[in-house]
Structure 1
Amino acid sequence: MSETTKPLVTDPASPYESFDSKKLYAAAERALDHYLAPAQIMATPYCPSSMFMVNPKTDTESLLANACESLASATVMLGDFAGSLDGPNRNTLLGIAQVVMLGELAVNQALDNVSLKE
């Protein structure tokens, strides 16, 4: 080797061993960001659809009664569907049914509270 030519010193762990490796590294970073980065959907605030709206003049007791009935129906539907499944899927569905049932109990108590005040 001549004095002006230095041997190429590379870090064995470096992704920049050659010119093309920089492009490969950039492509790998883009792929990782695409699959592992937090979802961009969470960056935008939730805006409910106005296609179906509840009448704002509906009284609280009626809204709570309707919500309670809807949650009770959802609990029954989830339980029926869970009955047709086996294993982990059944357990997951039964867990969701329990969460819905807890919501139903909370709404039911709120309905009782509203009824007691009147």
Structure 2
Amino acid sequence: MIKPTPNPPDDLSTSPYESLDSRKLHEAAERALDYHLGPNPETKTKPKPRKGALFTASSDHQTETLLANASEDLLSISAIAADLADDVEGTRRSVALALSRLADGVHLMVERALDQIDSPDPGSRQAKA
């Protein structure tokens, strides 16, 4: 069988694209495939920040670090609310005490999560194995 063109072409300066428009079409097709089939695993992309987020936590921090900071912040919130409850009366005092108790409850949950990170449940290891 005789081919009408050599393989590879003799002139290496020729582009596989007939025109600039065909190059743009090829790039658009690649973007569409990446969008629908997922990007190339070799290219690492950072997650997009959520819109409207004024503050974000760095993705470089480990879960334990984030939970430890949350625990400290909850203790501070509880202390502020309890201190405020001493200075006000009536329903405002009830609201301040409720905020203090809510912060205490969430603080306990965060501390429990930290305990589970430090010493994972032996039963969970067996389930994974």
TM-score (norm 2): 0.51
Aligned equivalent of 1:65: 68
- The CA distance in 2 between the partners of 1:56 and 1:79, in whole Å, is 33
Aligned equivalent of 1:113: 116
Unaligned runs of 5+ residues in structure 1 are 1-46
Change (3 A) 1:79 1:55: same
User: How many residues in Structure 1 have an aligned counterpart in Structure 2?
Assistant: 71
Aligned equivalent of 1:22: none
Report whether the alignment pairs 1:51 with 2:54.
yes
Counterpart selection for 1:95 from 93, 98, 101: 98
- The one-letter code sitting in structure 2 at the alignment partner of 1:62 is T
Runs (4+) of structure 1 exceeding 4 A deviation are none
- The CA distance in 1 between the partners of 2:82 and 2:91, in whole Å, is 14
- The one-letter code sitting in structure 1 at the alignment partner of 2:90 is G
RMSD of aligned alpha carbons: 1.5
TM-score (norm 1): 0.56
- The CA distance in 1 between the partners of 2:92 and 2:53, in whole Å, is 34
Determine what percentage of the aligned residue pairs are the same residue: 30
- Structure 1 position 49, deviation (Å): 3.2
